[in-house]
A and B are shown apart, each in its own frame.
Chain A
Amino acid sequence: MNKTYLGELEELILTMVGILKEEAYGNAIVQEVQSQLERKLNLSGVHVTLYRLEDKGLVKSHMGGATNERGGRRKRYFELTSAGISVLHSLQEQRLKLWNLMPELKMAGL
């Protein structure tokens, strides 16, 4: 089976979908990244990344119910698929494994 490789933004947004659970839609992700990491993302970038993750089968989406706020438009909610969850798991494992292989880390100059 082909291994799935993810870009930095893809990985971040996949993680965000996992964190936000039922509330994961474009704008919520932008706001969450802003408040957690103080990092500004552009909405269009988030959307495109979400669609790409969907193409890769890591997330799936559905439309929510009608709202009164946003001009009456529905939200497109995203959630992790099992493939998405397993990718998140393996990412975490890989990182830990590599981290453990690292000799004691010293800050340069200290």
Chain B
Amino acid sequence: MNNVQPPKRITNLLEWVCPNYLFEGIVGDLEEQFYDDLEVMSVKRARRRYWWNTLRFIRPGILLRNNAKLNIINTIMVRNYLKTAGRNMAKRKLFSFINAFGLSIGIAFYILIYLFIMDEKSFDQFHVNKDKIYRLEEMAYDTWQNNPEEPYNYSAYLQTGLGPVLKDEVSQIKYAARFNPDNQGIVSFGDKVFTESLSYTDPDFFKMFSFPLIAGNSDGLLTDKYQVVITPEVANKYFGTQDALGKVLKIDNYGEHEYTVAGIIAQPPANSSLQFQILLSQSNRPYYDRNMENWSSFSTPTFVQLVDNADMTSFEDNLAKLVDKYMQKSLKRARERVSIPEGMTVFKYQYTPLLDMHLNTQVSWTKSSDPKYSLILGGIAILILIIACINYISLSLTTSATRKTEVGVRKAIGAQRSQLISQFALESVILAVTSMLIGLALMFVFLPAFNEFTRKEIALSFGIILQIAGLGFALAVVIGLLSGFYPAFFLSAFKPSQVLKGGFTTKMKAGFTKPLVVLQFALSAFLIISSVIMYQQMEYITTKDLGYNQEQILVVPTQMGWSEESNKAVERMRTRLSQDPDVVGVAGTSLSFNQGWSKYGYTINEEQKSAYVFAVDPYYIDVLNIEMKEGRNFDPAISSDTSAVVVNEALVADMGWENPTEEYLNWREDTVGLGAKVIGVTKDYHFLSLEHAIEPMFLSMDKKEVGYLTQMLIKFKPGSLAGSVDKMQSIWNEMSPDKPFDYTFLDQDVAKQYASHKRWMSIMGLSTLFAILISCLGLFGLAGINALNRTKEIGIRKVFGAELSNIFVLLNKEYVFLAIIAFALAAPLSWYVMQMWLEDFKYGISMSWQLFALSMAVGLFIALVTVSYHAIRTAYINPAETLKYE
């Protein structure tokens, strides 16, 4: 039996953790048991038991005996350490506060960004079937742009007829639901009339997605065309406390109908890509039947849930078969019409998993975001945190010099170096934990503003608070230990004999902080420059002359749908307001600014062209003060004007016309006639946001081909806009009491186009503030170390007659130098990044050297103010104080 040995490795592990004096007795017992076991069981089992029994010895009762003696001393000393730490902090209240505060800001910022990223990642995670749900998409050859780099268009909008055939023809699909969010409609119940956002979907929607149904039966929901499913918020708005189920709502979406409330569904959470308030059956969509037949009209996002363990290859094959079956004809036509390179796929269905939808940048969606934002923010957060830690170290060092004597005394009465290190590390951790608490408080304070900047709705649930507290605590301990380490080693290395004799000076080697100060200043400089440029650009955009007048104009939808009625409503309003002295004019258009656009493509002289088009009335150009360059405006008295067009300069240039008013624009590719007569040319104005160049555009009164006037633009005299809303409300109620009165101000609509840029500007502004604060703290620390190191030198200089100003310059010139290096690093980087940002705007400011100079001056000023505290303090010290020991 002796040739069988117990497992070696686990014994070694035990030897490593077990106190030496106990080891022999323990292992002896273990081995005895092992040999006893061998008598009654297999070798394998005995070894396993030995292994397990040995492992059981790794427990606190054994481990803690390892340094039991040390433990006793430590528990006695810890109280003393805590007391000393408290006294030290109290002695230098300002310094301790600054030190803790810098770290607090870092932690607060870090946690905010952490919340942001967690929220981004949490999108759509709440669906039970999340791993089996996909969004179908099209990948289609872009016949308009002819961009060789990206020849394809990607879109989530598919044929309306696709949804119903999917389940029959693709065996991998279990459920399919079309989902069209954000359609406007007028909803009424009794005297409550509001414009609401309608979403159209299919019965499978309720089986696929996990939005809890509060009332109603999920089976067969929306199978009846005139059923409606609403959120509790909507139910409350229309029915108050009454039971909404079974009530009848009137909904007007291009035709009014009565709908029975068949279910109440929970409001989608903020981190859901699918948002809705009112769900209707797809069959209620305008032109539904026509779209069902038309396989070249793309208007319907479609989601599918696959069967368990679906074979993705055959799924893709089946999708390809659908293209062959339903789209062959139109694709062939497309190939003939435009020259598509041979071998190029013209059209293909692809898909994106539901969970990847939110961060998908290829296919746009109403509520998606770019993962690069998370990356940038995460990067900034980590940088700020690192800088905060570095500052923390250098600030700790500046204060530590005053504790030399304490170290000396402690060492003299027998403190070991390891004890001193743990003392200072403990102090550091205490301060770090304090900072964490302040940081958490700061985070609570900043969260509402942060939510507003990022347009998120991050709420702090108990679970999240716990998570944050855990994260914050872990951060604090790690930071405390890491940054306490260097000062601890530095301090504990003092020789007591030298320290206690007095007159002992030591130069703190804080050389490593210099590059770090340059780094943090470069970051601040980068953020300062970027913020200044962003601010200037936004200023430029909001004040730029757009070529039309956006002031004093109220935008009111006619609420009459896509019909002749809308045009009549505009006319009625014009007549009604014609006597009003405050009203300058009333105009109608199909789309007001920032409401979207429509674009037509046409071939003229075998050349593909396209132009934006807006339906207007003869008052449009006047109300908006659009300047005419040539020709005339539409005239209500000339009936042929209904088929004429007014074009912009860009279109004239595009067509290469010499005398535009003698030309015809054959945009409908009419083979018989000449097309629409051009009666006038407007000066270019920005009908789209300044992110776009002014492209060819024409205005038309052609109701049938271009559209109806669904929006009224009502212009008021200066100073009378304030009371106008109330007045309009009462006029509206008297004219069309059954329709809701919605309105916006044109200048606000225009400003909204830049909302996301504004938000980024705010985020950058916030980051800049944080970064400046933190780097100032760092600089403050460095300046402190430096001033301390040169106390004697300055004393000697003063004795020899140096002026205050000389010393001030002496101490500060170094920082000016550092700041200049930092700027030299930051300027090209921010130039590059801002260049990319400005590329989003076709109309941007140019970055001048003045901008950079201004930013640099601001940065330098801040730096100088920061370091001057130490410089002045040091310069004022009486040399007798500093030199008396020599």
Contact = CB atoms under 8 A, between A and B. Distances in A.
A51 B26 contact: no
B28 interface: yes
Contacts of A44: 53, 56-57, 59, 62
18 contacts: A27-B33, A42-B53, A43-B29, A43-B33, A47-B25, A48-B59, A51-B22, A51-B61, A51-B65, A61-B25, A70-B31, A70-B32, A73-B27, A74-B24, A75-B28, A76-B25, A76-B26, A76-B28
A44 to B, nearest CB: 4
Interface string B30-43: 11110100000000
Contacts of B22: 47, 51, 76
Contacts, number: 69
Given A48-B62, A51-B61, A51-B65, A42 B56 contact: yes
B25 A74 contact: yes
Interface residues on A, range: 20 to 34
A30 B27 CA distance: 15
B31 A47 contact: no
Range for the number of chain B residues in contact with chain A: 20 to 34
B61 A27 contact: no
A25 B25 contact: yes
A27 B33 CA distance: 7
Interface of B: 6, 22, 24-33, 35, 53, 56-57, 59, 61-62, 65
B57 A26 contact: no
Given A27-B32, A70-B31, A71-B31, A63 B57 contact: no
B25 A26 contact: yes
A69 interface: yes
A44 B22 CA distance: 12
Contacts of A61: 25
A70 B802 CA distance: 83
A89 to B, nearest CB: 27
A74 B33 CA distance: 14
Interface of A: 25-27, 30, 42-45, 47-48, 51-52, 61, 63, 67, 69-71, 73-76
Nearest to B61: A48
Contacts of B65: 51
A19 to B, nearest CB: 18
B28 A73 contact: yes
A63 B62 contact: no
A37 B57 CA distance: 24
Given A25-B29, A44-B62, 16 more contacts: A30-B33, A42-B53, A42-B56, A43-B29, A44-B53, A47-B22, A47-B29, A47-B61, A51-B62, A70-B35, A71-B6, A73-B28, A73-B31, A76-B22, A76-B24, A76-B28
The list of the 3 closest CB pairs from A to B, nearest first, reads A76-B25, A73-B28, A48-B61
A25 B22 CA distance: 13
Contacts of A48: 59, 61-62
A63 to B, nearest CB: 7
Contact of B57 (A27, A47, A76): A47
A26 B35 contact: no
Contacts of B30: 43
Nearest to B54: A44
B61 A75 contact: no
Contacts of B27: 71, 73
A59 to B, nearest CB: 13
A60 B633 CA distance: 112
A7 to B, nearest CB: 13
Interface centre among A30, A44, A63, A74 (most CB of B within 10 A): A44
Contacts of A70: 28-29, 31-32, 35
Contacts of A67: 28
Contact of A47 (B6, B35, B62): B62
Contacts of A52: 61
A40 to B, nearest CB: 12
Task: Name, among A42, A47, A52, A74, the residue most crowded by chain B CB atoms within 10 Å (CB to CB).
Answer: A47
Given A42-B56, A47-B29, A52-B61, A69 B35 contact: yes
B747 to A, nearest CB: 78
A4 to B, nearest CB: 18
Contacts of B26: 26, 47, 76
Given A42-B56, A51-B61, A51-B65, A75 B31 contact: no
A22 to B, nearest CB: 16
B28 A74 contact: yes
A10 to B, nearest CB: 12
Contacts of A45: 56
A63 B59 contact: no
Contacts of B32: 27, 69-70
Contacts of A30: 33
